[in-house]
Structure 1
Amino acid sequence: MSPCEKYRARERKPWKLTLQIFKIAIITVQLVSFGLSNEMMVTFKDENLMTFRHLFLKGYKDHQPGSFSLYTKADVYDHISYIISRYTNLRNLTVGNLAYERVDGEYTPLSVCQVFYRNSSIDPGNDTFDIDPHIDKDCISIHPMQPCKDSSLATCVDFSLDFKRLLSVNIYLTLKTINLQTVRHHELPDCYDFHIMIMFDNRAHSGKIKVDVENDIRIYECSDWTVEGTSGKNDYLLLSLDSVVVLACFTSVILCIRSVINGVKLQSEFKVFFHAYYNKIVSWSDSMEFVNGWYILIILSDTLTIAGSVLKIGIQTKFLTNYDVCSILLGTATMLVWVGVIRYLGFFKKYNILILTLRAALPNVVRFCCCAAMIYLGYCFCGWIVLGPYHDKFRTLDKVTECLFSLINGDDMYATFLKMRDKTYVVWLFSRLYLYSFISLFIYMVLSLFIAVITDTYETIKHHQQDKEPVSQLQAFIAECRDQPKSGRYQTDEEASTCCVSSCGCCG
C-alpha cells in the first residue's frame, strides 16, 4: 500500500514519507556544505604539495609525480644539500605563510635518514656478490638555524652514502601554516601541520634514483585567533544542522526497524496460514515479499549518515582530520538516500518499470557475469604475463583490468594497438591476435548477450503489466481476495471476522 492508500483506508498520516522528504533535503544541504569545505581543504593541500616540490626539488618543472629522477652520485649529494639549504633559508624564500614547527620552545629539526643493507660486497665485473638482507637506518638532524650557506653538503653535516647497498634516502621535515581562504566563506581558518617526506628511491638499484615528495597533514584549531565580523557563525549553524541530521536519521532508523519487524511477523503468520489452509510451503521469493528491501536500504543509508555526521562534527571541532572516511560515508549515504526516492515512484505503475526490471534481471545478470568473469580473468592474466614487459598498460595486473575494461567500452583502442607496433614480430603478432580476439569476443558477443538478458527481462515485465497477470503465488492469492486500491476501502479489524488474514485485508 502506498502512503495515499493507507491514508484513504485508515487515515494514517504519511509520517515516514514526510520524514524521508525532510531527511533528503537536510542530508543534501549537509553534503553540499561539507563538499565545499572539503574542496577548499583538498585544494589547499594539493597546492602546498606543489609548492614543496618547487621549493625543495632542484630544477623541478611541473613533472608528473614519480618522473623526477637522478642518475649520478654528484646529483644526489647536490640535491640533498639543496634541500637542506632551502629549508634553513625558508623564511627568505617562500611567498606563503610557512613557518617552522616548535616543540617546547625549540624548532623541530630536519632529519636525513639513509636506509641500506647491513653488509654487502658486490662485484658486477666478476659476477659475484655477498649481501646481508637485514636493513639498517642511520639518521642525522639539522636545525633550521644551522648555517648551510653554500650547496656543499660537507659544510652542513658529515654525511656520506654507500650507493651499492643504499635502498633510499628519506628527508623528514615539518612546516606549519594557516588556511586563510576559509575567512571568505565566513568560517574560522584552520591551522595545518605539514609532515613532509622527500624520498630518494634506490630500491631497484638500476642506476635511476626516483625522487618524490609526500605530504601528510594534521588539521587543528588555532590556539589564539581573532576574526572581525561574522566569521565563525557558520560553524555553529553547521553543527546544528549535523545534529538535526543525526536526530532525523535516528528516528528514521527506529521507524524502519519497526516496519521490518512487523513484516517478519506477518511473514510468519502467512506461512502458518498457507500451510494450514492450502497445505503448501511458501517459496523463498514469496517470503521475501514481506521483507521490504527499501527499508533495509534506508536503514543502511541512515547508519552511514549518522556515522558520517558524527565524524564530520569531529572534523569541524578539530578533534579529527580524516576527511577521506567522512567523504566516503556521507557520499555513499547521500547516494543511497536519493536512490531510495525511487521507492515512492514505484507506487505508480508507469514509473516502477526500472525497479521491476532490475529486480527480475538481477539473478540472471549475476550468473552471466560470473561466467563472463572467468573469460575476462583469463585474458587479464595472459596479457599481464605476455604483454606486460612491452606495454605500460599491461605492466601490472590492476592496469591490465583497467585497460581491458576500457577496451570493452571502446576507449583508447588505437593508442593500445599503436604502442605494440615497434616490438618484435612474435610479440606484435601475439598482441594483434590477443587484442582482436578480446575485442571481438566481449564487444560483439558478451556485451550484446548482457544487454539481451536485461532486454528480455524488460519485455517480460512489460508483458505482465499490460496483461495484469500476477507474477508470483503470493500476488495471485492477494489479487483474488482483496479490494482494489482505487476503492479507498480496506477491512478494519471489526470487519475481519470472516477473513483469512486480517492484516492482509483478504477474505477466505
Structure 2
Amino acid sequence: MNMDSGTAGNWGQRRTLNSLNEGETAPSFTPLKRGRYSSKFRKHTAIRLSYDPSQIQAETKEDIEDAIAEGDLLQVKVRSASTTTPQQIRDLREVLKRLFETPCKKWRVKRTFPYKLLLQLLKVLIVTWQLAIFFSERASFEKFSQANRIAFHHVFLKEWSSDREILPYPPGNGEYALYTQSEMSKHMNYVLYQFYRFNEVTLTPLVANPQEPAKLEVNYFEKTELYPLNQSYYVDATPKRFIKELPQDIVKKEGCNESSNEESCYEIMDHLNIDNTTIEPQRIINISLTLKLYGIDVKIPKYTPAEPLADVECVIFNVIITYDNSKHGGRFIVKLKTKLDMKVCELKKKSQQKQSIENRNLAAGIGLTIFDVLVIGVSFISILLAARSLVQRLKKMKRAKHLFKDHYGVSLTVPEILEFITLWYIQYIISDLLVIAATGIKIYLKYGAVAYQTTFNNEEFFNAASIMLAIANWSQWIGLIRFLGYFERYYVLILTLTNAIPAIVRFLVCGLTIFFGYLFAGWVVLGPYNEKFETVHKSAQSLFSLINGDEIYATMSIINYEDHPTEIWLISCLYLYSYIILFVFAIANLFIAVIMDSYETIKNGGGYQKTFLHHFVHETLQEEGTTDSDTQQVLEEQDEDAIDQQYGLLRPFVCCLDKCVHYSNTDYDLTEKAEDQTNTGLAMASVSQSRI
C-alpha cells in the first residue's frame, strides 16, 4: 500500500482494523526492543514499534485478520501527527528551566530575591528558639513533679529505699511487694497514718485538706471458693468495684481519741468488707488508695533570688497507691503514681509587692505572646507560599504532560511527577500546621485557665505540645537539606540514601524475616525464664541491643546451668550463639556494605539517572519530530531505571520480564514512525496485543 496524503489522513482519524475495506492495505510493523512500561504495570507494558511503507508485511485486511487469528495483532489505531509547534516546546522548556532553577542561580541571572529560602531559615530559627523556651518551662514543670513524686515514695511507702530510685539494668532490687496479710495491713495503715499527719512531717510546699479524706477503691471477683486439698474450686469471675471514703475518725481504732495520732491507732482491714463480709485476698484484683494534696510551685529566679518571683503555679496532686494482685501469685505489688493538675493562683501580698510582681509577669507574658503570634504568622505565610507553589507546579505538570504525550508520545513517570509535586512542600505544610497547633496549646496553657477560672491537666497538654513541636522542628531542620541539594558535594548523604533505598528495602525484607523468626522463638522459649524476653516488645529490644554487641554476657548469664532445666539452658546457648554469629558478624556488616556500595557509586559520579524530563529541560532532545533517534535513545536509557524506581520491589514477582514470558490479557502501547511519500509526516500507533 502506498500511503498518500489522503490515506494518511484517513489513518489519522484513528481508523480501527474493522474499518478497513476489502483489499485495502495497512502499514507494516517492524518490532524494536522492548521499551517503557506504562503506568498500569500489572496489566500493561509499552513497546515502541516503527514501520516503513517500503516494507509491507501485511498488505490487505485478510493478511491482518490472519495475524489476528495467530494471536499476533488485535487492533490497529493510528493517530494524527503532533500538533505542537516548536515555539510551544521552547516556551515550555523556558518555563521548566525557571521552575527547576536554584535560588542562587535565579539571583545571579535575574536578581530574583530568594525570599522563600530566607523565610525557611527564619522559620527554623524562631521555631528552634520557641522550642528552647518551651523546654525550659517543660523541664521546670517536670522536675517539680518528679521531685515531689520521689518525696511521696519516701513519705507513704514504708521502708522505701533510695536504691530503688536509680535505674540499673538488671535491677539490683526486686519489685516492691507485700507477701503476708500482716505486711499488707501494716503498710496500708502506715499510708493513712502518714497522710493524716502530712502537714506536720512533710518538707514539700504541699498540704492535705482535712475536708477531703483518703479514698479506698477495691476491684474484686464476685465469689471465689478454693479447696486446694480437694483440688476443687468455684469461681464467679464477675468483676465488682467497691469505693469508700476513709475519714480520719472512721479508720481510727476504738480507744484512740482525736489527739492520738499513732500508727497503731489506724486499722484499714476492718473496712475491706461488704455487708459485714470481709473480702478474702484471693478475691481481690487490686486495691487503690487515692490521696489529694494541694501545693504551690514556687519558681525562684536563677541568678537574682532577691528579686520578685518570676512565676508561681498552683498545683493539685492526686497520689494513687495501688496494691496489684491481678496475677494472684502470692504477693501484692505496690506502685505509686501521681496525676498533676494546675489551677489559677491568687496573689495575697502587700499591694506594692503585688503590683510589682503582676507588672513583671504581665511584661514577660506579653513578650512571649508576641513571640508566639510571630511564630504563628511566619508559619501561616509559609503554608500559603508552599500551597501556592504546589498549585503552580501542578499547572506546569499538566502542561508538560500534554506536550510530552502529544509531541513525543510519552507519559510522565512517577519520578518525573515527583519532580513537580515535590514532597518538600507537603512536609513544610505539615510541619507548619504542627507548629501552629503546638503554639495554640502554649497560649491556652498560659491564658486559658485564667479566662475560664478552672483546673486543667497541665501534663497532658505539655506532652501534646512537646511532641508536636519536636516533630515540627525536626522536620524543618530536615527540610533545609532541600537547599543543600543545589550543591552536589553537600548532598552526598541524601544521594547515597536515596540511591540505596531500593537495595536497603530488599535487604530488610529478607533480614526482618529472619529477625522475626528469632523474636518469636526467643519470646516463647526464653520468656518464662529470662526477664529480657518476657514480652514481645522486650524481646525485640533485647535482640536489637545484641546486634550492636551490647549486654551479650548479661543476656547469656541470666539462664544458667545450675538453676534452670538443662534443655532450656542448651536451647538458650544455641539460640544466642547462632543469633550473634548471624546478625552481629554477617547481617549487620552486609547492611553497611549495601550503603557503602551506594556511596561508592555516588562518589564515582554514578547512581543518578537522568529522566526524559531532564533531557527535555537541558535541550538534549530535538524540537522537530515526534520520535527521533535521540529521543528513542533517551527513552531506552530511562526504561530500566524507571522500572526499578516504580516497581523495583515487585519486579521479581511480575510476569512481564525477560525470564517470565507468559502474558495474559496484556496490552501494549506501541509507538511507530510513519513517513509519507510526499510529505515527511509523523504518526503514533497504539496496538493492543494478547499472548497466551
Q: Which whole-Å CA distance do the structure 1 matches of 2:336 and 2:516 have between them?
A: 35
Indicate yes or no: 2:497 matched with 1:358: yes
2:208–2:292: 8 Å Cα contact kept in structure 1? yes
Aligned to 2:263: 151
Aligned to 1:133: 237
Aligned-pair distance for 1:309? 1.0
1:253–1:299: 8 Å Cα contact kept in structure 2? yes
Task: Give, as a single letter, the amino acid of the residue that structure 2 aligns with 1:219.
Answer: M
SS of the residue 2:261 aligns to: coil
Q: What are the ranges of 5 or more consecutive residues in structure 1 without an aligned counterpart? A: 483-496, 501-508
Aligned to 1:443: 584
Q: Which whole-Å CA distance do the structure 2 matches of 1:152 and 1:136 have between them?
A: 30
1:87–1:144: 8 Å Cα contact kept in structure 2? no
Give the alignment partner of residue 147 of structure 2, picking from 44, 47, 50: 47
Aligned to 1:35: 135
Q: Structure 1 residue runs of 4+, over 6 Å off?
A: none
1:407–1:413: 8 Å Cα contact kept in structure 2? yes
Q: Which whole-Å CA distance do the structure 1 matches of 2:329 and 2:568 have between them?
A: 25
Larger radius of gyration: 2
Aligned-pair distance for 1:170? 0.6
Task: Give, as a single letter, the amino acid of the residue that structure 1 aligns with 2:486.
Answer: F
Aligned-pair distance for 1:12? 2.1
Task: Give, as a single letter, the amino acid of the residue that structure 2 aligns with 1:84.
Answer: L
Q: Which whole-Å CA distance do the structure 2 matches of 1:389 and 1:279 have between them?
A: 65
In the TM superposition, what whole-angstrom CA distance separates every residue of 1:466-495 from its partner, at most 9, and x where no partner exists? 9xx85322222222359xxxxxxxxxxxxx
Task: Give, as a single letter, the amino acid of the residue that structure 2 aligns with 1:331.
Answer: A
Q: Which whole-Å CA distance do the structure 1 matches of 2:269 and 2:550 have between them?
A: 53
Task: Give, as a single letter, the amino acid of the residue that structure 2 aligns with 1:126.
Answer: N
Aligned-pair distance for 1:192? 0.9
Task: Give, as a single letter, the amino acid of the residue that structure 2 aligns with 1:431.
Answer: S
Indicate yes or no: 2:318 matched with 1:206: no
Distance verdict in 2 for CA 1:225–1:338, change over 3 Å: farther
Give the alignment partner of residue 250 of structure 1, picking from 380, 387, 404: 380
Q: Which whole-Å CA distance do the structure 2 matches of 1:425 and 1:120 have between them?
A: 38
Aligned-pair distance for 1:352? 1.1
Q: Which whole-Å CA distance do the structure 1 matches of 2:311 and 2:439 have between them?
A: 19
Q: What are the ranges of 5 or more consecutive residues in structure 2 without an aligned counterpart? A: 1-100, 166-173, 251-257, 273-278, 304-308, 450-455, 627-692
Give the alignment partner of residue 77 of structure 1, picking from 178, 181, 185: 185
Distance verdict in 2 for CA 1:182–1:31, change over 3 Å: farther
SS of the residue 1:464 aligns to: coil
2:322–2:334: 8 Å Cα contact kept in structure 1? yes
Give the alignment partner of residue 430 of structure 1, picking from 571, 575, 579: 571
**Residues 307-316 or 89-98, more deviating:** 307-316
Number of aligned positions between the proteins: 479
Aligned-pair distance for 1:232? 5.1
2:314–2:343: 8 Å Cα contact kept in structure 1? yes
Aligned-pair distance for 1:290? 1.2
Distance verdict in 2 for CA 1:380–1:182, change over 3 Å: farther
Aligned-pair distance for 1:401? 0.1
SS of the residue 1:108 aligns to: coil
Aligned to 1:301: 431
Task: Give, as a single letter, the amino acid of the residue that structure 1 aligns with 2:580.
Answer: I
1:388–1:394: 8 Å Cα contact kept in structure 2? yes
Task: Give, as a single letter, the amino acid of the residue that structure 1 aligns with 2:339.
Answer: D
Task: Give, as a single letter, the amino acid of the residue that structure 1 aligns with 2:605.
Answer: H
Aligned to 1:119: 223
SS of the residue 1:176 aligns to: strand
Task: Give, as a single letter, the amino acid of the residue that structure 2 aligns with 1:67.
Answer: E
Identical aligned residues as a percent: 31
Distance verdict in 2 for CA 1:368–1:157, change over 3 Å: closer
Q: Which whole-Å CA distance do the structure 2 matches of 1:7 and 1:220 have between them?
A: 54
Task: Give, as a single letter, the amino acid of the residue that structure 1 aligns with 2:298.
Answer: L
2:185–2:269: 8 Å Cα contact kept in structure 1? no
Aligned-pair distance for 1:85? 1.1
In the TM superposition, what whole-angstrom CA distance separates every residue of 1:347-379 from its partner, at most 9, and x where no partner exists? 112111112222222233223222221211111
Q: Which whole-Å CA distance do the structure 1 matches of 2:362 and 2:102 have between them?
A: 44
Aligned-pair distance for 1:443? 2.2
Aligned-pair distance for 1:447? 1.8
- The normalised TM-score by structure 2 is 0.66
In the TM superposition, what whole-angstrom CA distance separates every residue of 1:194-242 from its partner, at most 9, and x where no partner exists? 1111011112222111111110111232134555453453232222211
Q: Which whole-Å CA distance do the structure 1 matches of 2:112 and 2:192 have between them?
A: 73
Indicate yes or no: 2:178 matched with 1:60: no
Aligned-pair distance for 1:389? 1.2
1:253–1:298: 8 Å Cα contact kept in structure 2? yes
Task: Give, as a single letter, the amino acid of the residue that structure 1 aligns with 2:410.
Answer: K
Indicate yes or no: 2:287 matched with 1:175: no
Q: Which whole-Å CA distance do the structure 1 matches of 2:106 and 2:516 have between them?
A: 51
2:195–2:208: 8 Å Cα contact kept in structure 1? no
Task: Give, as a single letter, the amino acid of the residue that structure 2 aligns with 1:109.
Answer: P
**Residues 149-158 or 9-18, more deviating:** 149-158
In the TM superposition, what whole-angstrom CA distance separates every residue of 1:90-143 from its partner, at most 9, and x where no partner exists? 111101111234xxxx72221122221111111222211111111222232123
Indicate yes or no: 2:197 matched with 1:89: yes
- The normalised TM-score by structure 1 is 0.88
Aligned-pair distance for 1:399? 0.3
1:116–1:166: 8 Å Cα contact kept in structure 2? yes
Aligned to 1:109: 213
1:40–1:182: 8 Å Cα contact kept in structure 2? no
In the TM superposition, what whole-angstrom CA distance separates every residue of 1:307-357 from its partner, at most 9, and x where no partner exists? 111112122235452211111100111111111122222211211111222
Task: Give, as a single letter, the amino acid of the residue that structure 2 aligns with 1:460.
Answer: T
1:187–1:233: 8 Å Cα contact kept in structure 2? no
1:176–1:193: 8 Å Cα contact kept in structure 2? yes
Higher helix share: 1
